[in-house]
Chain A
Amino acid sequence: MLFSLHFSPPPVIAPLPFKPLSHVPHHHHHTLNMLPSTHVLKPPLCSTMEHFTLNHHGKGGEEEEEEVDQTLPLGLRREAMPRHVAVIMDGNRRWARSRDLPVRSGYEAGARSLRTIVELCCKWGIKVLSVFAFSSDNWFRPKVEVELLMSLFERGMQEDTGIFLRENIRVSVIGDLAKLPEALQELILNLEETTKNNTHFQLIVAVSYSGQYDVVQACQRLALKAKHGLVEPGDIDASLIEQELETYCSEFPHPDLLIRTSGEFRISNFMLWQLAYTELFFAQSLWPDFGEAEFLKALLAFQQRRRRYGG
């Protein structure tokens, strides 16, 4: 077979096997399949308003077996919602630079984006959201920027405490917290303590965190236990490691879906062990631009995936 040298962008999401709900311009995801595609591919670019319109037309229609869940946008099935979504919130600085704004504006816009997504998670029945706020590698950024980020975390936690309490949100912070400024450490401990009995939703913020760090610290804790005779090295198994990982603070420690924004196709040392079977979704938008429409797209794509776990 002779292939033309015209390369279309590689698809990074599995094509969605249903017709688009609206005739709007869509992102192109060409397949590199040699064989004719059997699906109509394009994911719908929907807004919540459109869903209300469609719902209305759909009433009294052919498919009466399923109750339409009015709290979810059309197309999303409540029983197939991911329980734990993880996000690498990338692109804040690029967003600021592209608008000739200072880096601070990028991070502030990113914080607004995070609040939107937290709200949507609560509304749509997602139980846990983990966000990669600050990586172990980020300590190498310029001191001024690191200090800016630390102060933004402090401010964010102080300002949003009310929301967390009101919305029954539990906040957990994972990472090598000893590296953080003392004031921030104290704030974090207080916030975790204050919200620890909240049950509606859990927000896990990874600060000074990396997947490799998490495994190493789990291993160190196990080594300590072994040293004190609490466990034999030979008895160490996967579940013992799980118990020592920092995500053990959650009812659902493994993300079902990981979203990374800004078009980068890498994990960048976010949770490694916990991402073993996680569906990955790479969004082109920069984080401050990642809103409801794109989140919906990611969730719809997730619900189309066939998870086999090697079987």
Chain B
Amino acid sequence: MDGNRRYTKRWNLMQGAGHKVGYSALMSMLKYCYELGVRYVTIYAFSIDNFKRTPEEVQSLMDLMLDKIEELLKDESIVNRYGIRVYFSGNLKLLNEPVRLAAERAMLATAKNSKAVLSICVAYTSTNEILHAVRESCEEKWDEITLLNSSGGYEPDEDVNLIKLTDIENHMYMAFAPDPDIIIRTSGETRLSNFLLWQSANSYLYSPSVLWPEIGFRQFLWVILNFQRIRVYLDKKRKQL
């Protein structure tokens, strides 16, 4: 959701206004997605890299997030309207306590919803997610090995393939969701910026030049139509194999 600050600057708005308009743009996009039957939507709300910004900016983003999480939990919110289960993916320990608690509350409150999923990446980077998954896989295997070693049932030569792809995948923050079919990055920047690197292996990448607060139904429709057109081609290619 890139381009909020540039939007503020372009329209000579007050500090933070771009992000507020960005939030409305997000609500609209979510509605389009869920109305169309998209089951999983993942948004990059706050990167670990964003902590590098000025403390004032980081604080104002944290305040905005707290505010909006509370809003999501209200009865009339989009979450209840569409039966959305909310996940917060990332290294939540890096967040300040109010935001972290609000996030945990939101996950608990929506745990029974089952029509759709909204995953909000905060304090997230893909490399951190992979690192976390690798560490956990190693720790898990470490425990297993220690147990086997002590009971004398471990063959020291069985070094091959201690850890498999599935082990890592099971420990990803995003393990609850399938890989995204489409990744949209606004504001014309064409890079992943450490978002869903692992899961993006086969995603259709779309980078419209609109700033995030300006995104609308037009871009949404465009990417869906293109995705569907390419899907036909890809399915044909797969059959050829």
Contacts and interface: CB of A to CB of B under 8 A. Distances in A.
Interface string B176-217: 000000000000111111100110111111111110001011
B190 A272 contact: no
B190 A279 contact: yes
Interface in A162-214: 210-212
A216 B165 contact: yes
A273 B202 contact: no
A267 interface: yes
Nearest to A264: B230
B241 A141 contact: yes
A77 interface: no
Contacts, number: 179
A220 interface: yes
B225 to A, nearest CB: 8
Given A3-B216, A140-B241, A267-B205, A216 B130 contact: no
Contact of B206 (A10, A140, A237, A275): A10
Interface residues of A, number: 56
A222 B138 contact: yes
B163 A219 contact: yes
B135 interface: yes
B194 A310 contact: yes
Interface in A17-31: 31
B218 A32 contact: yes
A61 interface: no
B204 A265 contact: yes
A265 B221 CA distance: 17
A276 interface: yes
Interface stretch (B46-54, B85-93, B112-120): B46-54
Contacts of A11: 188, 207-209
Interface in B212-241: 214, 216-219, 221-223, 225-226, 241
Contacts of A269: 201-202
B208 A10 contact: yes
Interface of B: 10, 47-50, 52-53, 125-128, 130-131, 134-135, 137-139, 141-142, 145, 159, 161-165, 168, 188-194, 197-198, 200-210, 214, 216-219, 221-223, 225-226, 241
- Ranked 6 nearest A-B pairs via Cβ: A310-B49, A269-B201, A233-B138, A14-B188, A276-B194, A233-B139
